[in-house]
């Protein structure tokens, strides 16, 4: 398991199965992209909440473009974390635990 986000080509590495319950983690069909998009848009909105009161936004000057540039930079820097979080959320929400789970006696 890669603890760091670098190198970026391994930031989505997961173990083959959960150490606690034994559920296979590789059964995902890469549908976490929608969750990643939702998290990215949420981050754009959260950036708006702090950017607007501090710097202000107006269509008369270039402040909207500065906001978009700043938000894009923040989302790009946070993308490895957002990718991991979206994959984790996908597994929690959509991958059901089957009957092949280990019990406390199995450990």
DSSP secondary structure of 44-102: HHHHHHHHHHHH---SSSSHHHHHHHHHHHHHHHHHHHHHHHHHHHHHHHH----TT--
Condensed to tens digits (0 to 9), the pLDDT of residues 35-56 reads 889 999 999 999 999 999 998 8
Distance CA 78, CA 18 (A): 25
Across 10-14, 19-23, 99-103, which has the greatest mean pLDDT? Answer: 19-23
The pLDDT assigned to 46 comes to: 94
Segments making up each domain of the chain, as ranges: 30-93
pLDDT reading at 7 higher than 70: no
Distance CA 42, CA 23 (A): 30
**φ, ψ dihedrals at 17, nearest 5°:** -150, 160
Whether the model clears a pTM of 0.85, i.e. scores above it, the answer is: no
> Which is higher by pLDDT, 73 or 2?
73
Distance CA 103, CA 20 (A): 9
Condensed to tens digits (0 to 9), the pLDDT of residues 69-100 reads 999 999 999 998 998 888 888 877 776 665 55
> Which is higher by pLDDT, 22 or 106?
22
């Amino acid at each position: 398991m890669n603890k760091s986000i670098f190198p970026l080509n391994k930031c989505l590495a997961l173990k083959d199965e959960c150490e606690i319950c034994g559920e296979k983690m590789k059964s995902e069909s890469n549908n976490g992209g929608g969750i990643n998009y939702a998290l990215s848009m949420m981050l754009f909105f959260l950036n708006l909440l702090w950017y607007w009161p501090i710097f202000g936004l107006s269509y008369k000057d270039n402040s909207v473009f500065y906001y978009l540039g700043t938000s894009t930079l923040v989302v790009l820097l946070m993308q490895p974390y957002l990718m991991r979080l979206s994959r984790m959320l996908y597994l929690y929400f959509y991958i059901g635990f089957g009957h092949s789970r280990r019990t406390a006696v199995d450990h």
